[in-house]
A and B are shown apart, each in its own frame.
Chain A
């Protein structure tokens, strides 16, 4: 009997301290930190880590610190799904944020949905994601419909264009969707389409498409290019080298340093693209300034692109929901997320309206003039 009491007392001593201290709340960050998505997923993960550090420095949430568990999906579907499963079953996270590509979100999402763990994608923009995955799936960025609509409105009203040439990469879900929504709004606005041309991701020579563009009479006054970062710079370069100075408009696939470095500052001119935020030191917005300062302090460089800010916002969004839920219960966090109204982030204000889990959010337009990026407009579609 005495030994039993002794053992119990010892156990209490061992367990006691952890009972007393606040247990950290585990939250998952899933990104393709290595592999093809690295250039946008690694900054995203850095953004989330920065947010975690700040939140804990301010005392965490519900009186408990958070523990951000970062897993690498390796830009591979098998590795991404096992990583999601590991976050849920081994680390027992209360929510997961991350991933910037639709294909990987659609692979990892159903695992979180089945386990009833809220999952917020930081950067995947296909608007049908939450519908296809389920009620535990949320998007932190706007949908492609929103940015394509803003692109079309901006081209029609600000650039005063009426006749568009459309070039679409056929290899991606994202580029095809963007074109579809752009065309829908463009024709509704009253614009006409001179020619719809296409290429395939990985192509390096666009002379055939450019020849067809030059043959158009009357000449189009707008070039809408639906591309991913890989080809963005090359297309600008070859169009401008052909002597065509018509404005080029695109989506967040153009949010990459490649659009200036590949064509060079002389040719990277009169290019406009929609994206999540203008995260540059000359931004007029104080919250962006604060984010850039914190990012510089933590990583010794400016944020690489808007995906760093999206990762940062995603974690704050999740933690905000935990605070409003007043609990780490996953179902309550889900309900709190769904009830998010006017959450102010670096990349805009997030509101989930009418049961939709794609936020109504403002879209930023960036203008490139002779290699220099500048904030052009912020439009809520």
Chain B
């Protein structure tokens, strides 16, 4: 059994590496860039689902945590020579650091997680709408801080010329790390405890689950991954400004989680991929065209309209999201095979149990 798991994991990893190599060799810059954006959105959506979907903490602060990571990572990797020019008032210790990407990624994630602890401590006493509004407040505070801490952030001017370290490999590695950590966590006793906290925190407490600590832990971990995504994003776009980490961004991520299914990790992955690629696919339609002698005028804004309509339809016909709380993964593929072979060991075991 152990060997089979190893084989499977190794096989998946090898296949993924091959696919990435193939992508890097054959795709143009535009498609590679899109893949990077997809990966970053996957990290953001799955990590938000940990709090919003699995733990029942409806957070609207994800863009704020992402901003913390983005600014922290940028200040650490930014070339010393350009720091002297763009950020002359940085404290000495910060002005003289120029870290490689990996430690900056980790530091960005860690700082965002730290911010989550600081915010979560008071805020997680709240529930429902109050919690949502409080986390939204955190996001606004981060934005205001980024606008006013001119010494560190250049305020509204933003920092440009960030080294473009983000490659497909970094993004893929971070996506893999996120999915593996979250997948294993949610499959473990901790994951079940988190779901118990979500479904009924009183019962969870009666069962001996330290509710407050678990909620704080979920928020912290989710924020950590958002911070990592922020560092990746900053080094992909190469410009950060406070305006980018707005309510709109938070909303986009929340939509991905809701559309994919609150409480479905694979649902978040599917939604992040779809909601990133579909608007790009619609670009061609937006530009207008001449089809069979008919001139279609340009329809800019079409992608947003189509997306909005799709959202409404999903909410009407699948209010729990595309996948609800179901998951698609290895185990489910195997289950399908078993179904075909009419063995159904899982079901039998369940009935016996």
Contact = CB atoms under 8 A, between A and B. Distances in A.
A76 B304 CA distance: 13
B74 to A, nearest CB: 14
Interface string A288-311: 000000000000000000000000
Contact of B301 (A34, A132, A172): A34
A83 B298 CA distance: 16
Contact of A107 (B37, B237, B298): B237
Interface in B138-164: 147, 155-158, 160-161, 164
Interface stretch (B5-13, B49-57, B238-246): B238-246
A82 B160 contact: no
B30 interface: yes
B287 A69 contact: yes
A170 B154 CA distance: 11
Nearest to B236: A81
Q: Which range contains the number of B residues in contact with the other chain?
A: 20 to 34
Interface residues of A, number: 34
Which secondary structure dominates chain A's binding surface?
Answer: helix
Contacts of B156: 170-173, 176, 201
Contacts of A111: 29
Nearest to A71: B283
Given A34-B304, A70-B298, A86-B283, A77 B157 contact: no
A236 to B, nearest CB: 22
A34 B160 contact: no
Interface string B217-235: 0000000000000000100
B28 A110 contact: no
A170 B155 contact: yes
Which secondary structure dominates chain B's binding surface?
Answer: helix
A78 interface: yes
B311 interface: no
Contact of B239 (A74, A83, A103, A115): A103
A178 to B, nearest CB: 13
Contacts of A86: 30, 280, 283
Given A33-B300, A103-B243, A110-B161, A85 B237 contact: no
A3 interface: no
A115 B147 CA distance: 32
Interface string B16-41: 00000000000011110110010000
B237 A78 contact: yes
B301 A85 contact: no
A106 B240 CA distance: 10
Given A69-B287, A107-B237, A170-B155, A132 B30 contact: no
B37 A82 contact: yes
Contacts of B30: 82, 85-86, 88-90
B244 A77 contact: yes
4 cross-chain pairs, A with B, having the tightest CB-CB distances, nearest first: A89-B30, A89-B28, A106-B160, A173-B157
Interface of A: 33-34, 42, 69-72, 74, 76-79, 81-83, 85-86, 88-90, 103, 106-107, 110-111, 115, 132, 170-173, 176, 200-201
